[in-house]
Amino acid sequence: MSDGKETPERRREKLKQEEIKRNPTGNINDAFNRNEGGNLSGLAGSLGWKGLGVLILVVVIVFIVASIFLR
C-alpha cells in the first residue's frame, strides 16, 4: 500500500505509537483503567515489559513494608 492510502488499522496503530512516545506515563494510566473490566493478562500486555517490571517492584516494596510494620 502507498503512504497516501493507509488502512484505518495502520492509522490507529501509528497514532497509538506516537502517543506512547509523547506521554509514556499515560500508557500506565490507560492500562490500569482498561484493566477495570479485564483480567491480569490484559494489564500485563498493555503495560509492556518496563511497566510490568515497575508494577512488580512496587508490589514487592509494599509487601516488604507491610510485613515490617504488621509484625
Give the tens place of pLDDT for each residue, 2-38.
567 888 888 888 888 887 777 767 666 766 666 555 6
Asked if residue 26 belongs to a domain, the reply is yes
| Residues contacting residue 67 through CB under 8 Å, at least 6 positions apart | none
Asked if residue 60 belongs to a domain, the reply is yes
Asked if residue 1 belongs to a domain, the reply is no
Q: What total of structural domains would you count in the chain?
A: 1
Residues belonging to the chain: 71
Asked if residue 2 belongs to a domain, the reply is no
Asked if residue 49 belongs to a domain, the reply is yes
Domain containing 29 equals 8-69
pLDDT in tens, 56-66: 999 999 999 99
Asked if residue 58 belongs to a domain, the reply is yes
Q: Give the integer Cα–Cα distance in Å for 34 and 57.
A: 21
Place of cell 496503530: 13
Asked if residue 25 belongs to a domain, the reply is yes
What nine digits make up the cell of 70?
A: 504488621
Asked if residue 65 belongs to a domain, the reply is yes
